[in-house]
Amino acid sequence: MNALVERLAGWADRGDFRSVDLGVYRLIFASTMLVLLPNYYWISQFDPAFYRPAPGPFTLLSGFPPPWVLAMLDVVIAAALALLLVGSRTLHCSLLLSGALLVGEGFAYSFGKIDHSILLVLTPLFLGMAGWGNSLSLDARQRGSGELPVNQWAMRAFAVSIGVAFGTAALAKGLGGWLSWSSQATYAYVRQRIERGRLDWLAPFAAEVDLPPLWEMLDWTTVALEGALILCALGWRSWRLGLCAATGFHVGVLLVLNIDFWMNMVAYGAFVLWSHAPATLHRPAPAPAPATHPLVRRLPPATLLAMAFALAAVSLLVAHLHGPSTESLGWVPVAAGLVIAIACLASSISFAVGSARSSSSRRAASRV
Amino acid sequence: MRSRRGISVIAVIVLMLPVQLALHRFAGSEPYPALFMPSFGQVPVVGQRVVVTRLTVVASSSTKSVHVDPVELVPNETRLAESIARFFFEDEDAVREVAANGWLRGRLRNIGVEADNVEVTRERLFLDQDSHEVVQVVRVATYAVALDRGPA
């Protein structure tokens, strides 16, 4: 029993992430989120009659919170993102951000529909535990010592969480009739959304494709991909391959159903080895990396913090005056994810071809 | 020691898969917070026909009647707006509540509509899979509410 636990613990701790990978991702995450800033003050404009929480802790409340609570929630999220950007008190800010997003989304989903942003909510929690503040941050600068190791198990736990989330969707779809040969569920949803006026991207063309076997194949592929993701989490290379496939799936959903799942794309970015360019499925060789960015080294902490808070204030102001930018920019993370997935696959294929060539030439040389 | 902690966390996450599905089945709808991705619910196909739900809101005064886009009545600009409107107008009691307290009248006024009554109709449209034409319309619910001015 003990040996099994040790083996499982070894598996959980196995990983090729370095703190600089997570540090780069923290910068990408915080800046992306400051542009697509989630905000919840809009909820205050609704009458309490709209309150219809999902089963869970929000049913304990009798209605939406007062406007000042929602305003505070928006301010806390923007401030936590600003602190994450410069990497100050990163672990605390990460936990605070996940908590605030969990509560904010909980109220936003108390109108009857859940919009499945849970992976984005969990990103700061897992990455904070993994140590995304140990590099390219004020925390790292104040600590002054060399590069700290990453808690690889936190990354594994995050990967398994994503696998479980998709597993529930696969099971629910399987039980809901997606695998019935006569259903063509994907086609039915395309038609439904066309009727509701979702006519962007390739939706009108897709609706004209009268090939039931193709639509049925898409149904099966969707369920298979969602169900297989948890198995992909067993190894990092298979996991990154799975995420590349999931990215292709999200691009298809955007083009055909006009649903941009930007939240998931931002979360998948956590598994990219950002310090290794071009992107790849695994780290072929370690590379030295600085613990702090030169800009972070030169500027005084107070200046950096002031700049980050000013950026957060502008983001908050724009989000409140201009409305949510996710409606116009939600496709950008999906497109960026596609580019990274293609680069990742291409560099891995070229690496595999290169390795095969060099090993065959070595074999030929040894024969001579 | 840290590895043991990692394995415990991962074990809890894996156990959440059956627990969440059981909760979903028991509660009848998806819990929150939970590790779920969209399942899209029951496939909207009945006997080779795609089913679409249509929501119609007509606001009327003594002089005229106008069709109102239910999404425009929702003070939200995200993609949640459509579902908020759909779920809300399914609940006649909730609509009566906002009609009585002046909220609905205020929202209509915001989009430039002066009205004393609102009639809500929900229909299921059955689309032919080949021609994409509506071949059958089934009225699910119709109700009318009088708009109050709310507390003075």
The tens digit of pLDDT for each residue in A25-74 reads 999 999 999 999 999 999 999 999 999 999 999 999 999 999 999 999 99
Q: Which residue of A has its CA nearest to B4?
A: A9
Residue B116 has pLDDT above 90, yes or no: yes
Q: Give contacts of B69 with chain A, Cβ < 8 Å.
A: none
The larger pLDDT score, comparing residue A350 to residue A309, is at A309
Given pLDDT bands bounded at 50, 70 and 90, which one contains residue A104? Answer: very high
Which residue among A177, A210, A324 sits closest to B77, beta carbon to beta carbon? A324
User: Which residue type occupies B80?
Assistant: L
Half-sphere exposure of A58 (CA within 13 A, CB side): 25
| Cα A35 from Cα A23, distance rounded (Å) | 19
Which residue among A13, A176, A188 sits closest to B3, beta carbon to beta carbon? A13
| Cα A318 from Cα A312, distance rounded (Å) | 10
Residue A146 has pLDDT above 80, yes or no: no
Residue A327 has pLDDT above 80, yes or no: no
pLDDT tens digits, one per residue of A261-309: 999 999 999 999 998 866 677 776 655 555 555 666 678 889 999 999 9
Q: Do the beta carbons of residue B120 and residue B89 sit within 8 Å?
A: yes
| pLDDT value of position A288 | 56
A344-353 burial string, b = 16+ CB within 10 Å, else e?
bbebbeeeee
| Cα A27 from Cα A71, distance rounded (Å) | 25
Q: Is A129 helix (H, G, I), strand (E, B) or coil?
A: helix
A107-144 burial string, b = 16+ CB within 10 Å, else e?
bbbbbbbbbbbbbbbbbbbbbbbbbbbbbbbbbbbeee
Contact A118 B33 (CB under 8 A): yes
Q: Name residues whose C-beta falls within 8 Å of residue A191's C-beta, 6 or more positions apart in sequence.
A: A207, B50, B52, B127, B132
Contact B43 A180 (CB under 8 A): yes
Residue A337 has pLDDT above 90, yes or no: yes
| pLDDT value of position A292 | 59
Measured from the Cβ of residue B18, the count of other Cβ atoms closer than 10 Å reads 13
Residue B87 has pLDDT above 80, yes or no: yes
The interface pTM score, or ipTM, of the predicted complex is 0.92
| pLDDT value of position A290 | 55
| pLDDT value of position A208 | 87
The reply to whether omega before B33 is within 30° of 0 (cis) is yes
% of chain A exceeding 90 in pLDDT = 70
| pLDDT value of position A365 | 86
Per the prediction, chain A carries an average pLDDT of 91
Q: Do the beta carbons of residue A80 and residue B136 sit within 8 Å?
A: no
Q: Cα dist. A144→A132, A262, B144 in Å? A: 16, 36, 69
Per the prediction, chain B carries an average pLDDT of 90
Which range of A220-234, A344-358, B29-43, B117-131 scores highest in mean pLDDT? It is: A220-234
User: What's the mean pLDDT in B38-60?
Assistant: 89
